[in-house]
Amino acid sequence: MPLTVELVTAERVVRVEQGVDVLVVPGSEGQMAILPHHAALMTTLDPGELVMRRAGQEDAFAVTGGFLEVRNDRVTVLADAAEPFEEIDATRAEAARARAEERLRLYREGRAGDVDVARAAAALQRSLMRLRIVQRRRRPGPPRV
Amino acid sequence: MATIRQLKRRIQSVKNTAKITNALQLVAASKMRRAQDRAEQSRPYAQKLRVVLAGLASQSGEDQDAARHPLLVSRPVNNIAVLHITPDRGLCGGLNANMNRSAGTFVAMQHEPVQVVAVGKKGRDFFVRAHVHLAAEFTDLGDYPSQADTLGIARLIIDDYLAGKVDRVYVSFPEFVSTATQRPAIRQLLPIEPPAPVDGVDEAQFADYIFEPSPDVVLAGLLPRYIEMQIYEAILQNAASFQSAQMVAMKNATDNAQDITRELTLTYNKARQEQITKELLDIVGGAAALEG
């Protein structure tokens, strides 16, 4: 029996998909693929790319962290934020990356005491993740995961 | 008695008011639909989080009280914080008054010092007038607050709690029961009381789970998000409650204005008739006098 995947955030239901053959997620312990008949699992997610594959079709999403639960071939992803890769705004991500790098640079040079390093680093990680997904997906040729 | 000219002016004025309240009613109705929709959209996430948390907390808690997560530990109460969520604007019937009365009474009943974190201008102004200590205020979240807008509020609450500035946190918000009913609600936010197990969900179902990295890490990640989610939900309900209260209030105002217009028009017509009659009598009387 294929997987039923629910991808939800606090703001909206991003996608509910049935008949998913493989689900690739950015687990906090490393990327992992979830196949049907997976054991019950509860894990935290890192920012990264989430891919649903079914019947030769592939849907990619950017998630910025959250939780994943697998039980009886039902997968629930509680994402902090998630968007289909088509909706990723590369310009915005690029701006966010530049901003975060600037903050980190200021901090390294000791010129800004009020920079929240953890937040800037997290923002950098998220923007890089979105840019990476966009770059990989929009290149011609067969998509890789 | 009012003169005919005064009556005419009054009727026009009431009609103009009705036009405005009617427009506001339509705007509120459409915004209400959208606000309700957003509340609807957030429900699956909230539900799932509750189920998982109920299962996890019942597992990891009981036997090892010392090792429990700080957000779950109940400690002696020295200071209390109330997160008071209200609309920014009025023209919504008794909603703001009810909210402020409920929160005001609640604050007055506490034996420990209370500080208020106000979301929305109406609640903020109330506690400023009441001379209650305001720890922070958040206003102008807009008609459709995004989750990102509310994360800062959650952050502040959690930080204050973990820093020991407050030992118990309540949230006061207008619970959206239906379009016609909004009820002031006060719930405890911190320490977290894990949600009661949901019907039909086996509590022990989490016993055979694989946890990555570990149950404690997963729980530690879930707890702040539970707070964030509750605050976000309360703020969404506030938005939906405000719009529906405004819609109902404006509908009543429009109806009242129409009643008044009807009464005034009747009075106006009577007065007009009377004057015509009087003039006729004058003419007839004058003519009779000439003939006689």
CATH code for the domain of B58? 3.40.1380.10
Catalytic residue among B92, B103, B107, B169: B92
Query: In this structure, are A77 and A18 located in the same domain?
Result: yes
pTM exceeding 0.90 = no
What is the span of the domain harbouring residue A29?
Answer: 3-85
pLDDT, tens digit, for every residue of B45-86?
Answer: 998 888 888 877 666 544 455 457 888 888 899 999 999 999
pLDDT for B60 equals 57
B221 CB neighbours in chain A (<8 A) are 44, 67
Q: What is the CATH number of the domain that holds A96?
A: 1.20.5
In this prediction, what percent of chain B has a pLDDT beyond 70? 92
* Residues on A contacting B at a C-beta cutoff of 8 Å: 6, 8-13, 27-29, 39-44, 67, 69, 71, 76, 78, 80
pLDDT, tens digit, for every residue of B193-239?
Answer: 877 766 555 555 666 788 888 888 888 889 999 999 999 999 999 99
The span from the first CA to the last CA of chain A, in angstroms, equals: 23
Tally of structural domains, chain B:
1
The answer to the question of residue B271 being in a domain is no
Q: Which two structure tokens, joined as six digits, stand for B208?
A: 């055979």
Whether B237 is catalytic: no
What is the span of the domain harbouring residue B143?
Answer: 24-248
What's the mean per-residue pLDDT of chain A?
Answer: 86
Query: In this structure, are A69 and A94 located in the same domain?
Result: no
Query: In this structure, are A9 and A72 located in the same domain?
Result: yes
- Dump the DSSP string for A87-131: G--HHHHHHHHHHHHHHHHHHHTT--TT--HHHHHHHHHHHHHHH
pLDDT for B66 equals 47
Nearest CA among B175, B89, B95, B154 for reference residue B125: B89
The answer to the question of residue A144 being in a domain is no
The answer to the question of residue A93 being in a domain is yes
Is pLDDT above 60 for B89? yes
CA distance A107 to A104: 5
Sign of CA dihedral B143, B148, B149, B153: positive
The answer to the question of residue A42 being in a domain is yes
- Dump the DSSP string for B219-270: HHHHHHHHHHHHHHHHHHHHHHHHHHHHHHHHHHHHHHHHHHHHHHHHHHHH
Q: How many CB atoms lie within 10 A of CB B260?
A: 17
Across the interface, do B45 and A8 touch by the CB < 8 Å criterion? yes
Across the interface, do A69 and B52 touch by the CB < 8 Å criterion? yes
Is pLDDT above 50 for A103? yes
Shortest distance between the Cα of B248 and any Cα of chain A, in A, equals 27
Query: In this structure, are A106 and A129 located in the same domain?
Result: yes
Q: Are A60 and A49 in contact (CB under 8 A)?
A: yes
Query: In this structure, are A55 and A112 located in the same domain?
Result: no
Across the interface, do A8 and B48 touch by the CB < 8 Å criterion? yes
The answer to the question of residue B270 being in a domain is no
pLDDT, tens digit, for every residue of B90-105?
Answer: 999 999 999 999 999 9
The answer to the question of residue A142 being in a domain is no
- CA separation, residue B211 to residues A44, B50, B112, B286 (Å): 9, 18, 40, 106
The answer to the question of residue A145 being in a domain is no
Query: In this structure, are A66 and A129 located in the same domain?
Result: no
